[in-house]
Amino acid sequence: MIKKIGLIANHKRAGVLEAIGELVRWLEDRGRKIFVDDQSAKLLSRKDIGCPAEEIPDLSDMIIVLGGDGTVLRVARLMEKSDIPILAVNIGGLGFLTVITLSELYPALEKVLNHQYQSSLHMILAARVVRKGKEVGRFTALNDVVITKGAISRLIDLGISIGQEYVTTYAADGLIISTPTGSTAHSLSAGGPIVHSTMDAIILTPICPHTLTNRPLILSERDTIYVALKSAYPETTLTMDGQVGFSLKLGDVVEIEKAPFKVRLIKSAKKGYYGILREKLSWGGRT
């Protein structure tokens, strides 16, 4: 039974605090124990239910996320030790991950509390940075791991190996290493393929490669990708989900592979995967 529920929100979005306040009252009326991220709880003047966001997965039977896809991405990186479902509610924004609208929240939540819902598991990427033989950074990402250069216009050289086999060296503005979930994000804008979000695969999409024959690659989830930084300029950066950044140096090697855990997202009862694509990408429309 779902007795303990965590709420994590982007409190900067218009209408979120009112939505959280109403949701807390609704859940407490039904006897649920609530944990709200500290910032939102403070703004609600409900410090009694406040909790650091990183502790909420261990305390809860499910998590409700209110905001946009960025909030879901942030929460996903907290789920390494938890397999509890996430109900993602869209408050503004495009929303590939937050497919349940605020108007659909309470009917959807009634079904979830009665265990009448379906969920999908989404692959996570694990990345680590090795510098002179030592690990200097370790990260996870639900959407993508991206290597980009700074403002200098020259291309960067990225040596790509898959397992023990050398593949090529990209001369490009950067490289996107994406999950299927992230295939509709940065990778798509750089010309990458759309891959069904519940598949296990790794997508390599070079950003503006100098050689036009350097095309995106779809790899097995069992592969480990090694990206060696063969040229570097100030502000060459490794970015996870567009939210966490790490500065890279010449000679660094970024190792990317499938993480040992996945994120469980509750599906919308009204929209399937292709319906979401059709809506968000305006498929079938006439211009």
Active site residues: 69
- What is the Cα–Cα distance from 65 to 56, expressed in whole angstroms? 12
Contacts of 172 (CB under 8 A, 6+ apart): 155, 156, 158, 206, 207, 208, 209, 210, 214
C-alpha radius of gyration, the chain, whole number: 20
Burial class from Cβ neighbours inside 10 Å (0-12, 13-18, 19+) for residue 283 reads exposed
Distance CA 155, CA 210 (A): 8
CA distance 208 to 187: 12
Best CA proximity match to 204, nearest among 165, 169, 178:
178
Q: How far apart are alpha carbons 196 and 95 in whole angstroms?
A: 16
Count of CB atoms situated within 10 Å of the CB of 156: 24
CA dihedral 55, 108, 41, 14 (to 10 degrees): 120
Reduce the DSSP state of residue 104 to 3 states and report it: helix
The answer to whether 92 and 271 are in contact (CB under 8 A) is: no
> How, if at all, do strands 144-148 and 237-240 pair?
antiparallel
Residue 222 half-sphere exposure, CB side, CA atoms within 13 Å?
A: 0
